[in-house]
């Protein structure tokens, strides 16, 4: 046994399994029994699903997820990774069972008679399972959570084998006649929601959660919430293909939550400029809209523009727009910086909201600290507001502008279309006054 193996938290993993295993079967069975006691539980099924084949042998990959469930706790290298995995599994159970209780659905196809070993596996399954607990498929929710965990520990041919087998598990929920199609995409979203709640490389979205006091953030939160509600209403009213609108509904709901409570951390943008995989899946409809919006509003604007010295201002660059800049300071929260390189700085700020004085101060320090390494691009989604405020803060911080009006005038000379409203001016003024106060409070004999 190696030292690394000896440090693995086997005992804690066993305790988690002892807790999660019974919880899984008890809560799953309870939701089934509640649905079975109701009258006229509906089904959501598309006509093309009636051509779905029944493959008895896929009961093997279907059952195998139970094995992966238990092993996933014991592959964790340390306590933190273990607790993250366990909390994801617990969240999967809570999310799925809550949905089963709130809007139960019924599987409407008749499963063919099956004999042999496969038939025995079906008999065991039907011993505790009933044709309820449909959307989101708990099998698919767990599939996402387990796939993420094992993919982190495997490489090469083993990782490819994992992908193939887990793809079979995903298909098996249909070919064993356990689920209708609607259960799969809803399961995928629920699975990524559990991963998003308990990230490993990004900050947990709830860690610094607090109700905002900014009226502008509340206004935007309500707008996004209304749009989410409209998408959800349209999805239910249209049915069929219209149900895909539930994806943008969830995406916009999370954006509203970011503005009201979570802040930039909700987008899970990491120091390497990338969004977490969970955030990419959950926010995909919103991200597509944000990217198209950024390109539309900047289609006729020169990208980027030189401001002063080595500092440039522009939108988040694509890979073909990065050349010529030694460093990039990215202050957008929602768009990934795909052209990120070592030495770049990521300081996520919410769109359409004035940054705080502290955010502006930090951005100014970042810009000044990177000078001397070459040309610097300061960017956000459009290059009109957040990044402009950051450059204005640097102009004031470095003494290149004596007043907020002077800093904005320098920026407007470079890019007349910048959008810095009264709230941005107030934040810049607060930053300037805080810096002046700090300088006056430096004790004698110390250098500020």
Contact between 32 and 133 under an 8 Å Cβ cutoff? The reply is: yes
Buried b (16+ CB within 10 A) or exposed e, 402-430: eebeebbebbeebbeebebeeebbebbee
CA distance 316 to 308: 19
Structure tokens that stand for 335 in this block: 């768009």
Q: Which residue has the tokens 């895909």?
A: 244
Contact between 251 and 284 under an 8 Å Cβ cutoff? The reply is: yes
Query: Phi/psi of residue 114, each to 5°?
Result: -135, 135
- 342: burial class by Cβ within 10 Å (0-12, 13-18, 19+)? exposed
194 carries an active-site annotation: no
Query: DSSP assignment, residue 307?
Result: E
- Chain centroid to Cα 419, Å, comes to 28
CA distance 377 to 315: 9
Neighbouring residues of 137: CB distance < 8 A, sequence distance ≥ 6? 96, 173, 178, 179, 183, 184, 186, 187
Contact between 311 and 391 under an 8 Å Cβ cutoff? The reply is: yes
β-sheet bridge partners, residue 346: 330
CA distance 173 to 222: 38
* Radius of gyration of the chain, Cα coordinates, nearest whole angstrom: 26
Set 99, 194, 227, 380: catalytic member: 380
- Provide the residue count of the chain: 448
DSSP letters along 343-407, please?
T-EEEEE-TTSPPPHHHHHHHHHHHHHHTTSS-EEEEESSSSSHHHHHHHHHHHHTTS-SSHHHH
Neighbouring residues of 354: CB distance < 8 A, sequence distance ≥ 6? 214, 216, 389, 421, 423, 424, 426, 427
CA distance 433 to 448: 15
Catalytic positions are 380
């Amino acid at each position: 046994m190696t030292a690394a193996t000896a440090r693995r938290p086997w005992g804690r993993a066993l305790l988690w399994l002892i807790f999660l295993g019974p919880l899984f079967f008890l809560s799953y069975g309870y939701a089934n029994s509640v649905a079975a006691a109701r009258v006229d539980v509906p089904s959501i099924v598309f006509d093309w699903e009636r051509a779905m084949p029944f493959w008895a042998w896929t009961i093997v990959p279907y059952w195998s997820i139970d094995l992966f469930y238990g092993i996933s706790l014991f592959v964790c290298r340390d306590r933190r990774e273990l607790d993250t995995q366990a909390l994801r599994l617990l969240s999967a159970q809570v999310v799925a069972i809550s949905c089963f209780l709130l809007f139960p659905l019924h599987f409407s196809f008749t499963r063919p008679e099956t004999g042999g070993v496969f038939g025995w596996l079906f008999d065991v399954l039907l011993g505790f399972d009933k044709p309820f607990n449909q959307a989101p498929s708990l099998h698919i929710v767990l599939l996402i959570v387990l796939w993420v965990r094992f993919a982190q520990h495997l490489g090469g041919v083993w990782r490819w084998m994992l992908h193939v087998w887990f793809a079979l598990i995903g298909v098996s929920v249909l070919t064993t006649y356990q689920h209708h199609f609607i259960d799969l995409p809803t399961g995928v979203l629920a699975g990524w929601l559990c991963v998003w709640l308990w990230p490993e490389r990004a900050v947990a979205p709830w860690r610094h959660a607090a109700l905002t006091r900014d009226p502008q953030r509340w206004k935007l939160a309500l707008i996004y919430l209304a749009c989410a509600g409209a998408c959800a209403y349209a999805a239910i009213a249209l049915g069929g293909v219209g149900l895909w609108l539930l994806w943008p509904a969830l995406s916009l709901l999370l954006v509203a939550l970011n503005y009201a409570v979570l802040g930039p951390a909700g987008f899970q943008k990491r120091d390497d400029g990338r969004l977490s995989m969970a955030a990419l899946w959950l926010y995909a409809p919103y991200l597509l809209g944000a990217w198209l919006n950024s390109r539309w509003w900047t289609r006729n604007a020169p990208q980027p523009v030189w401001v002063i010295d080595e500092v440039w201002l522009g939108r988040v660059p694509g890979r073909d727009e990065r050349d010529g800049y030694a460093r990039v300071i990215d202050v957008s929260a929602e768009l990934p910086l795909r052209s990120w390189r070592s030495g770049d700085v990521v300081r996520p700020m919410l769109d359409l909201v004035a940054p705080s004085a502290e955010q502006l101060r930090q951005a100014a320090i970042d810009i000044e600290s990177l000078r001397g390494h070459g040309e610097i691009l300061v960017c956000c989604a459009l290059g009109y507001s957040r990044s402009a405020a950051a450059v204005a803060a640097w102009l004031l911080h470095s003494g290149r502008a004596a007043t907020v009006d002077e800093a904005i005038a320098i920026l407007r000379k470079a890019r007349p279309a910048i959008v810095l409203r009264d709230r941005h001016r107030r934040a810049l003024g607060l930053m300037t006054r805080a810096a002046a106060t700090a300088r006056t409070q430096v004790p004698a004999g110390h250098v500020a």
